[in-house]
Amino acid sequence: MERRGFLKAGTAGFASLMTGAGMLTWSPRSEAATISKTYYITAGTQTMPDGVSVYVKGFSNSAADLNIPAAPLICQEGDTLSITVINRLAVTHNFVIGGLKTGDAPLASTGDIPAGGSKTLTYTVPTGKAGSYLFYDNKTSYNVFLGLHGGLAIMPAGKSDELYPGSPKFKPNRQQFWIFNDIDPALNRAVQQGTAIPSSFTPRYFTINGLTSLPPGAPGHSDPARDALYDPRSKLSGYVGERTLVRMLNAGMCSHAVHTHANHMEWLTDRGTVRPAVWKKDTLYLRNQLGKIDAIFPFEAPPDAYPPVTKGIFPMHLHDEMSQTAGGGLYQFGSMTEIVFK
């Protein structure tokens, strides 16, 4: 049993799974800086929409928190990351920043962090590494699925409106992560109880930034701390013209089809590689095995409305529709959020 640091989401005195505000805020600098952050590896339970309690782990903001995904990091090329990770659990973990492109070596790693121990990772970001990264635990092949993951945004030096130097522009301070995960509670239970890890997984819950959607009428609907439709980290909200960069990271088991209503997305990268040309897509193929995509949601007036409109609420959901369920049913309780034209 892994009991040390055991927390329960949503109980009094516990901050909740949701951390931080919505968009990533960023002010470019002419000089490099050191970005320091401490994460605590904690564990606890999260209650799924059907009432099932699932054991999860996270890189959390304090020993009393359980944050899934971790609070995001943002820096620029040339900055030095100084990340301390304190392992509050009874088993060894680690903290790895994945590479930019498929096949790249990780940017940096703490190495093993023994139970109760801590490690500090120091990494100076070289030029050419602007992009979106998943940081995670790869001590085992499945720790990432338990919730031990988060997003790192590396900006081009001195820029606030480009993904990479010369990329299509987005509005400064309008960028956010969509981090997807798939949960098979049998895996989580085996980790919690120290029993054999299943040889095959069948996910039953599907999250975006750690939460599932809760449709109108459901307990918790519209609560930004519980409902992915309203979670400001996930929800896209803007006026026409407010071009927004979405950094999509797949921490989960399954490949997904990311589908936006209302606008086509401008597809900039696939698994860290800049696309040879920008395609406009309403559905993007987000691979598993740590796949990632960067795209701009342009917030153009929905082109096919008649009479024309500039306001409305639309969904982003995964089109592999199994991901729109919870516990084998409960359609609309999966990986979905809202796109709000204000």
Partner 1 sequence: MSSKMDGGGGGGMGNACYVYPGSPATPGRVTPDVIFRRGIYMNGSMRMDDGNSVPIWGFTDLNAGQGQMDQMGGGSFPSAAMRVTEGQIVHTELTVNMMWAHTVHHHGIEPSQENDGVGHLSWDVMGGTYTYQWRPMHAGTYFYHCHTNTPLHAEMGMYGGLIVDPKPTPGDAPGTKRAFYNGPKYDVEAIWAADEIDPAWHNLNWAAGTCGGDVGLNNLNPKYFIITGVDGKTSALTHPGVAVTMTLGQTLLARYICAGFHPQKIDFGGLTVDVVASDGRPLPAVWKTGSIDAHSAERYDCIIKPSSRGTWTVTVQFLHWRTGAVMGTARTRINVV
| Residues within the interface to partner 1 (CB under 8 A) | 50, 182, 201-204, 215-218, 253-257, 259, 261-264, 276-283, 285-286, 288, 302-307, 309, 311-315, 319-322, 324-325, 327-332, 338
Least distance (Å) between residue 339 CB and partner 1: 10
Pairing of strands 236-238, 336-341: parallel
Considering the complex, state which of residue 159 and residue 235 has its C-beta at the smaller distance from partner 1: 235
Closest CA to 257 of 306, 211, 323: 323
Nearer to partner 1 by Cβ, of 26 and 267: the residue is 267
Smaller CB distance to partner 1: residue 16 or 288? 288
Q: Which is nearer to partner 1, 128 or 280 (CB)?
A: 280
273-281 and 265-270: which strand pairing? Answer: antiparallel
Q: How far is the CB of 319 from partner 1 (least distance, A)?
A: 4
Backbone angles phi, psi at 294, to 5 degrees: -115, 135
Contacts of 98 (CB under 8 A, 6+ apart): 104, 106, 107, 133, 134, 135, 136, 290
Identity of the residue, 25 or 283, whose beta carbon is nearer to partner 1 in the bound complex: 283
Is 133 strand, coil or helix?
strand
Q: Give the closest residue to 278 by CA, choosing from 270, 266, 286, 263.
A: 266
In the complex, the smallest distance separating the C-beta of residue 52 from partner 1, rounded to whole angstroms, is 10
Provide DSSP, 218-277.
Answer: STTTT-TTT-TTT-TTT-EEE-TT--EEEEEEE-SSS-EEEEESSS-EEEEEETTEEEEE
In angstroms, give the least distance from the CB of 176 to partner 1.
21
Output the smallest distance, CB 256 to partner 1, in A: 7
Cβ proximity to partner 1, 37 vs 204, nearer residue: 204
CB of 342 to partner 1, least distance (A): 8
